[in-house]
Chain A
Amino acid sequence: MIQTNAPILLEIDGLHASVDGTPILKGLSLVVRAGEVHAIMGPNGSGKSTLSKVLAGHPDYEVTAGSVKFLDRDLLALEAEERARAGLFLAFQYPIEIPGVSNAAFLRQAYNTLAVARGEEELDPIEFDDYINERIKVVELPASFLERSVNEGFSGGEKKRNEIVQMAVLNPKVAILDETDSGLDIDALKTVSQGVNQLSNAENAIIMVTHYQRLLNYIVPDFVHVMADGRLIKTGGKELAQELESRGYDWLRSQASTPGAV
């Protein structure tokens, strides 16, 4: 929901970033306030996933110019784990398998790390068990998945649901969903979307990064941004997504004379 006087959670200004010396982001700006749902759409290679990784603090990406403020802190000065503790969350496009680490132990360690950062009590395994069994209902993930190694042998849909479980456990201020719809069948898409909608509230914000309009039928955005060549070239409401679906991206690129539109 849009509340013009809601506090700003994330403020990206003129962000440039490169990987292996190749510039990918070329002056991207975006303001996200509490309660808002943003969608960033764009063709392959426009830099969508780079934006997600840069914000989450992936070491392979180098920020060459610009600034990012997150809850009044300089996000770019923080390590990846400090960003997570401050309340930033990235749902991975390709969640990583970690054989030998149980999902439950991983979730508990992550939860307790964040709890300490927030000045809250840690949960012991029994307390956490009660908590997690409540949280996994958000995406209907069977409890048996908690005993398995993190993402190991999970189907594509199960991995994406596990990402949303982590979001539910960590309760972030800003969640970036990187291509969360990719690889999901329609039922899984509904389940995941319902989970995200349950977690969305007036205090937090969601940024969906997606290639297709399909996800936006289930998680309705307040803003749709079009990304091309490392910048946001157009911003509109949810109807812009439908226009993109029917007309593609090319018409925008040809008239991309409005750089950094926010």
Chain B
Amino acid sequence: MSALTDSRHWLASALTDSQQPITTPSVTQGLQERARTYLQDAALPTAHEEDWRFMTLVPLLEHTYQTPARAGHILLPDISRFILPEAEGRRLTFVDGYFSPELSNLSELGSIVLRPLGTLNDTDGPRALGSIAPPESDTMTALATLFGREGACLEVPPGVNEPRPIHLLFVSSGAREGVRIAPRIWISTGPRSKATVVQTYVATHETVQAVHAITEVAVGEESELTHIRVQSESRMGCHFERCAANLGLRARYTLRNITLGGRLSRFDVSIDGVETEMNATLDGLALLAGDQEADTRSQLIHRKPHGQSRQSQRMILDGCSHAVFRGLIRVHPQAQQTDSAQSSRGLLLSSDSRIDTKPELAIEADDVKCAHGAAIGQLDEEQLFYLRARGISESDARALLTFAFAAEVLENIPIHSLRKQLQAVVLGRTQRAESKK
């Protein structure tokens, strides 16, 4: 019962904090009212709910959080290692939830429209804001909506083909403990456009914090969007994100999601093919150690015929970390000739780590191809022996094989500097994991 009391108390105090007189973008005020109404009768999710069966909110409830009155003091050199040279001139930076003009560089946007939400007014913002991930979706989405103070609004006009990536950078300064940050991100691509967006969450200091994010994506007719999300926040913090994408006619959407940070993190993603011939790719890599817990919940929804989707989830766990993957593929009756494949693979590097994986297929059409597979294991002994038989030490062989397990996802990251950055992180983690033994 005490867990329930804690949870109620936490929610009540969170709702009070959200009434503090801190400016709210006018464009989201209506959504926030809806969220507040929804939350009046809502409770935080518990393990009794199927969606939260494998993960508890305890690490979140152990602390109280407040929206900071201002951003921590961060200078460009503090974040230089997070900057992507390929995206220079197309970077929107936020510190502790606040837009930072000093750390942003919007000098090479061309016809792309990239603005902080706080600068938009009611008539200026995307009309569909809040319609792809409505506040009433669930408690966590409502909370993120209510807490929201700022965010990014990216609009790629029709026909624009931008080969250079656009970077949305969210920095946590760690200046204070118990900071609550709630960014809202809108990304839309017009018909026949093409763009690449990188969304990274980073921390300059390790501290207790809570991030509640909402990302809405509208991929226009025959347009192509590559979306890379990297969450490498404080290993003491919590991160909850709802990411919802709608795919138009013949739209192509690729989402590559890398989870490295967070004491507790949850990424709840849905990709909804509302028109025919959707094409979606959803890759995930979670690299966890210590007491980290990461939950990935995905829904790939085929509503119309001739859609294709590919999903691959990889998890590498050390220490007493815990990963959850629940992937639903839904094929509606109309979505004939859907071609869908899902695979999830987990690698347990320690005896105390744990993976819960649950592929789900809900197929209501009869002429479809849906493949799925899940495997959890340790490093392959025959592969280890093969490498050792060539003189490579057992610890190097383990690190090499662990790196190889992650490589498939990392190799597909189309931005050189980011790929190298991530490969170095993974390599550092795999070698450190070995040196303990």
A interface residues with partner B (beta carbon < 8 Å):
56-59, 79-81, 83-85, 90, 92, 95-96, 98-101, 106, 109-110, 113-114, 117, 149, 166, 170
Contacts and interface: CB of A to CB of B under 8 A. Distances in A.
A64 to B, nearest CB: 20
B397 to A, nearest CB: 8
B381 A110 contact: no
A95 B385 CA distance: 11
A84 B407 contact: no
Contacts of A83: 389
Interface stretch (B133-141, B178-186, B204-212, B398-406): B398-406
B393 A100 contact: no
B391 A99 contact: no
B429 to A, nearest CB: 16
A100 B389 contact: no
A79 B400 CA distance: 18
Given A80-B388, A166-B390, A100 B383 contact: no
B408 A98 contact: no
Contact of A81 (B380, B382, B391): B391
A92 B407 CA distance: 25
Contacts of A81: 388-394, 397
Contact of B386 (A98, A113, A149, A170): A98
B393 A113 contact: yes
Contacts of B392: 81, 109-110, 113
Contacts of A106: 387, 390, 400
B155 interface: no
A90 B404 contact: no
B386 A95 contact: yes
Contacts of B387: 98, 106, 110
Q: B interface, by DSSP: helix, strand, loop or mixed?
A: helix
25 contacts: A57-B388, A59-B385, A79-B394, A83-B389, A84-B389, A85-B391, A92-B389, A95-B386, A96-B380, A96-B382, A96-B383, A96-B385, A98-B387, A98-B401, A99-B408, A100-B404, A100-B406, A100-B407, A101-B403, A101-B404, A106-B390, A110-B390, A113-B393, A114-B391, A166-B390
B48 to A, nearest CB: 40
B404 A99 contact: yes
A56 B388 CA distance: 9
Interface in B369-383: 380-383
Interface of B: 380-383, 385-394, 396-397, 400-401, 403-408
Contacts of A114: 391
B404 to A, nearest CB: 3
A152 to B, nearest CB: 10
Given A100-B405, A100-B407, A117 B391 contact: yes
Given A98-B383, A109-B396, A80 B405 contact: no
Given A98-B401, A100-B403, A57 B389 contact: yes
Given A98-B386, A100-B406, A110-B391, 9 more contacts: A56-B389, A57-B388, A84-B388, A92-B389, A96-B380, A98-B387, A106-B390, A109-B396, A117-B391
Contacts of B404: 98-101, 149
- Residue among B388, B400, B403 with max Cβ neighbours from chain A (10 Å): B388
Contacts of B388: 57, 79-81, 84
